[in-house]
Amino acid sequence: MSKKTRKPRKTPKKTTNTKKDNETNGINKADMAKKLYDQASELRKNGKYADAIPIYQKSLNLSPNNPSTLNDMAWTYYLMGEYEDAIRYAEIALDIAPTKGFIWDTLACAYFQLGDIDKSWQCFEQMKRVDPTEKGTVEIYQRVKKLIQPKRAFFSHKGRKGSIKEQTARVLEPFSNNTKAILAIIIIASGILLIHNVILGIYLLQTFLAIIL
């Protein structure tokens, strides 16, 4: 009997993604990320912030380097009162797109709510530098501006060199001569009153000690 010879089995070929397949997958991911972004933005506009956050996160999972999505995530946290998380996502967005003024605006608003006026103003100034057309959140910007101006004026005078007399003259420079004279009288009177109070205090202390001793 002759033995039958078995034909060798063909091994299945491994399928590899072609360049076209990769491009198609990339387009699909981008489309899905955009749909999720739009869905989350709609939820945010309707005040459903807690529902919007996980949808934004799903969009970021597909497109992690999208500065607009990162910024909108930050702004949603801001609207929720989660200012530290708002800062965290805004800073990530700025690492990717440092010239986007609206991201600096988000960061400035979050710092303002945390009470850090200096950092808030620095972010607003940077916003104007990178994008002069960006108006930002006008209400917050005006409030920070009002708070920062007196402080900046004080340190501006303080930082100038010169004797006490010269520094005093610079501070009084905007005032008229009559106003300067009135201010001088007030300062002298305040000094005399202070000396009088010190002498009176010493006299009362001596009287008290004389009584108890």
Q: Is residue 210 part of a domain?
A: yes
94 class by beta-carbon count within 10 Å (0-12 exposed, 13-18 middle, 19+ buried): buried
Whether 32 maps to a domain, the answer reads no
| pLDDT at residue 1 is higher than 50 | no
Helical spans, DSSP H, in 65-163: 67-79, 83-96, 101-113, 117-130, 138-158
Shortest CA distance to 57 belongs to which of 22, 105, 92? Answer: 92
What is the mean pLDDT of the segment spanning 153-169?
A: 55
Q: Domain range holding 213?
A: 164-213
Do the domain assignments include residue 122?
Answer: no
**DSSP symbol at 162:** S
Average pLDDT over residues 178-202: 82
pLDDT value of residue 15: 46
130 lies in some domain: no
Does residue 182 sit within a domain? yes
- 209 found inside a domain: yes
Q: Which residue has the tokens 């929720």?
A: 80
Q: Is residue 5 part of a domain?
A: no
Range 146-181 burial, b when 16+ CB lie within 10 A, else e: eebeeeeeeeeeeeeeeeeeeeeeeeeeeeeeeeee
Q: Regarding predicted confidence, which is higher, 11 or 90?
A: 90
- Structure confidence at residue 191 (pLDDT): 83
How large is the average pLDDT for residues 102-108? 97
Model's pTM, two decimal places?
Answer: 0.62
Q: What angle do CA 59, 107, 83 make, to 5 degrees?
A: 80
* Residue 59 located in a structural domain: no
Residue 126 · residue 100 · CB < 8 Å = no
Placement of tokens 């060199």 in the chain: 161
The pLDDT score that the predictor gives to residue 205 is 81
Checking if the pLDDT of 88 tops 50, the result is yes
Which pLDDT score is estimated for 162?
Answer: 55
Name the band, by pLDDT with cuts 50, 70 and 90, for residue 193: confident
Output 54 or 201, whichever has higher pLDDT. Answer: 54
Look-up: residue for tokens 């300062």? 187
Q: How many folded domains does the chain comprise? A: 1
| Mean pLDDT, residues 142-162 taken together | 69
Q: How far apart are CA 48 and CA 44, in angstroms?
A: 5
Q: What pLDDT score does 185 carry?
A: 84
Residue pointed to by tokens 């799903």: 58
Angle at which helix 101-113 crosses helix 117-130, to 10 degrees, equals 170
* Mean of the per-residue pLDDT values of the chain: 82
The pLDDT tens digits of the residues spanning 2-53 come to 555 555 555 545 545 555 444 545 568 889 999 999 999 999 999 999 999 9
Residues 6+ apart with CB under 8 A from 184: none
First to last CA, the chain: 139
Sign of the dihedral through C-alpha 129, 133, 134, 135 = positive
What does the block give as tokens for 203? 């006299």
